[in-house]
Amino acid sequence: MKRKNRPMGRPRKIDPADGQPCLSKRDCVLTAGQQVFLECGYAAASMDAVAVRANVSKATIYAYFDNKRALFEAVIGGRCVAALSEFTVPQQHGDARAVLTDLALQVLKRQLAPEALALHRVVLGEAPRQPELGEAFYAAGPALGIELVGRLFADLTRRGLLAIPEGKLPLVVDLFLAMLKGDVHTRALLGLPNGTHCLECIADMAADLVVARYGVVK
Amino acid sequence: MKRKNRPMGRPRKIDPADGQPCLSKRDCVLTAGQQVFLECGYAAASMDAVAVRANVSKATIYAYFDNKRALFEAVIGGRCVAALSEFTVPQQHGDARAVLTDLALQVLKRQLAPEALALHRVVLGEAPRQPELGEAFYAAGPALGIELVGRLFADLTRRGLLAIPEGKLPLVVDLFLAMLKGDVHTRALLGLPNGTHCLECIADMAADLVVARYGVVK
DNA sequence: GTCTATATACGGATAGAC
DNA sequence: GTCTATCCGTATATAGAC
């Protein structure tokens, strides 16, 4: 009884060329594609470059993916779900300010990771020509963030640590998350040296602004 | 005494092909390049497409611009300065909240203009490969905004309408501007239908959050 | 499945006539 | 300055051997 497609128990092969723990050829292609697309953008990326980086011939790529577009979608789809692997939802024992600061700092760090920035750039660049791509990215990224923070804010309100009117909750969530996309994020996206503010200061003030307006007086 | 380069008094020629008030061939090329680059992005844009849209041969393009990159820089440089044509600095007679709301709404509307969004996308996509481009965009856009809002906030503080400690001023400016890049902006950049919140509500709340924390008690 | 070699097309850039 | 025609590299995609 033959097994197909890397059955669970079988250890992965090692690529003899670079000694890295390369998986199936298909996975090699995906990884290489990821690197090339995120580095060059869709249009400037070439299948030759992907083939070289995957230690594979172009024909092999086309054995697994119909065309360039299909490979791109597979790559980006993979990155989208990977980028949003679960947050550590802050323990809500302390006061609201501490919780918000913690959350803000996590989001900030995650947004500034080089792969997150590259993904952001490439998706924005191609979204006008591939609507589904924009949808997928939004659903896997911003939409999840909004939902998660929304639940957290609602919880804090229910427990009397914040006092956000129901009708205003979505807007507060939106502005809270937006506050984390300031100068530091912009400069990072543009590839400029380093932002002017420290991440802790930003997280602090974002939490502070929300608490100043919607915190409960003690 | 011959005059060169479209002297002031001379009316512009009319392009016989489409009847539009086309300027010099060089300007036609610039305009066409603008459209093509903003639509397709740098890599996917072709000089053929620019030539067609400008009603000009490719050779003519190369008579004015050394190569594709040079044309791109000219186009983007032009858009960068055009995008930041002066704001109407709000009259500061009312209370701080009104001033901030007004300012926020202006920024929001400007950011969401289709050309601004397209420019944003294209610049982000190419910035990793063209550092000077990122610098130019940042200087003409975000940096100017930061400076302008910084001066406004400092003024309001000096006049007793806000109470922002000197040390915190840059951070408050940053977060205030960041609050305007929330969900609506994100969805617009991704080309998704329409944002969830109304612009006036966003501007209102952004101003509200700042005033709640740094407004003076009356 | 995987490779080498190639078909085919397109894009950046230029030569040379007018 | 402006055009037509063209060179030449490169890119996507495939054919066919193993």
Answer yes or no: do A182 and B187 touch at CB < 8 A.
Answer: no
A3 in a domain, yes or no?
no
Q: Does A32 map to a domain?
A: yes
Q: Are residues A144 and A196 in the same domain?
A: yes
* H-only helix segments in B66-130: 68-83, 96-111, 114-126
Pair A133, A181 in one domain: yes
CA distance to partner chain B, nearest, from residue A198 (Å): 10
Q: What is the pLDDT of residues A5-17, one digit of tens each?
A: 444 334 455 544 4
Q: Same structural domain for residues A193 and A177?
A: yes
- CATH number at B139 reads 1.10.357.10
**Residue-wise burial string across A1-38, b where 16 or more C-beta atoms lie within 10 A, e elsewhere:** eeeeeeeeeeeeeeeeeeeeebeebbebbbbbbbbbbb
Which tops the pLDDT comparison, A94 or B14?
A: A94
CA A59/CA B77 separation, integer angstroms? 41
Of the two residues B213 and A8, the one the predictor is more confident about is: B213
> What type of residue sits at position B8?
M
- Asked if residue B58 keeps its beta carbon closer than 7 A to nucleic acid strand D, the reply is yes
Identify the closest residue of chain A to B199 by CA–CA distance: A171
DSSP state of A215: B
Three-state DSSP class for residue A14: coil
- Count CB pairs under 8 A between chains A and B: 152
Burial track B101-135 (b if 16+ CB lie within 10 A, e otherwise): bbbbbbbbebbbeeebbbbbbbbbbbbbebeebbb
The pLDDT score that the predictor gives to residue B6 is 44
One-letter amino acid for residue A103 of the chain: L
Report whether pLDDT(B3) > 80.
Answer: no
Closest by CA position to A109, among listed A91, A83, A135, A133: A83
Among B31, B7, B9, CA closest to B20: B31
Question: Which chain D nucleotides are covered by protein, judged by CB under 7 A?
Answer: 1-6, 10-16
The whole-model pTM stands at 0.91
For B216, the 3-state DSSP assignment is coil
A6 touches strand C (CB under 7 A): no
One domain, residues B72 and B163: no
- Categorize the per-residue pLDDT at A84 as very low, low, confident or very high, splitting at 50, 70 and 90: low
Into how many domains does chain A fold? 2
Domain that holds residue B69: 1-78
b/e map of A112-144 (b: 16 or more CB within 10 Å)?
Answer: beeebbbbbbbbbbbbbebeebbbbbbebbbbe
pLDDT of residue A12: 55
Does the pLDDT of residue B115 top 60, yes or no?
A: yes
Q: Are residues A74 and A89 in the same domain?
A: no
Residue A137 forms part of a structural domain: yes
CATH number for the domain harbouring residue A55: 1.10.10.60
- What pLDDT is recorded for position A19? 52
In this structure, the answer to whether residues A122 and A193 fall within a common structural domain is yes
Same domain, A31 and A96: no
Tokens matching residue B201:
């509500």
CB environment A157-193: b (16+ within 10 A), e (fewer): beeebbebeeeebbbbbbbbbbbbbbbbbbbbbbbbe
CB-based contacts of B72: which residues, under 8 Å, 6+ apart?
B33, B37, B42, B45, B126
Together in a domain, A153 and A94: yes
Cα separation, A194 vs A187, in Å, equals: 7
Instruction: Note the pLDDT of residue A1.
Output: 37
Closest CA-bearing residue to C1' of C11: B46
Binned at pLDDT 50, 70 and 90, residue B86 comes out as low
* Amino acid whose CA is nearest the C1' of D4: B57
> What is the secondary structure of B149-191 as a DSSP string?
HHHHHHHHHHTTSB---GGGHHHHHHHHHHTTSSHHHHHHHHT
Do B70 and B173 fall into the same domain? no
8 A C-beta contact, residue B121 and residue B41:
yes
- Measured from the Cβ of residue B173, the count of other Cβ atoms closer than 10 Å reads 24
For B77 and D3, how far is CA from C1' in angstroms?
29
CA–CA separation, A208 and A202 (whole Å): 10
pLDDT of residue A4: 40
Indicate the pLDDT class of residue A71, thresholds 50, 70 and 90: very high
For residues A194-211, give the mean pLDDT.
96
* Per-chain mean pLDDT for chain A: 89
Query: How confident is the model over B32-72, as pLDDT tens digits?
Result: 999 999 999 999 999 999 999 999 999 999 999 999 999 99
- Are A95 and A183 part of one and the same domain? yes
DSSP character at residue A12: P
Site of tokens 């090329």: B29
Residues B148 and B130 both lie in one domain:
yes
Q: What secondary structure, in 3-state letters, does A60-90 show?
A: HHHHHCCCHHHHHHHHHHHHHHHHCCCCCCC
**Cα distance from A6 to chain B (closest Cα, Å)?**
36
Q: A79 near A119, Cβ under 8 Å?
A: yes
Chain segment A134-174, per-residue pLDDT in tens: 999 999 999 999 999 999 999 999 999 999 999 999 999 99
- Tell whether A191 is within 8 A of chain B (Cβ): yes
Domain boundary among B78, B113, B135: B78
Q: Tell me what percent of the residues of chain A surpass a pLDDT of 70.
A: 86
Nearest residue to D11 via alpha carbon and C1': A46
Distance B181 CA to C8 C1' (A): 46
Specify the pLDDT at position A92: 65
Tell me the per-residue pLDDT of B143-186, one tens digit each, with 9 for 90 and over. 999 999 999 999 999 999 999 999 999 999 999 999 999 999 99
Structure tokens at B161: 């309408």
> Which DSSP string corresponds to B50-64?
HHHHHTS-HHHHHHH
Going by the DSSP 8-state scheme, the letter that residue B88 receives in this structure is: -
Same domain flag for A97 and A75: no
Straight-line distance from CA A47 to C1' D12, in Å?
8
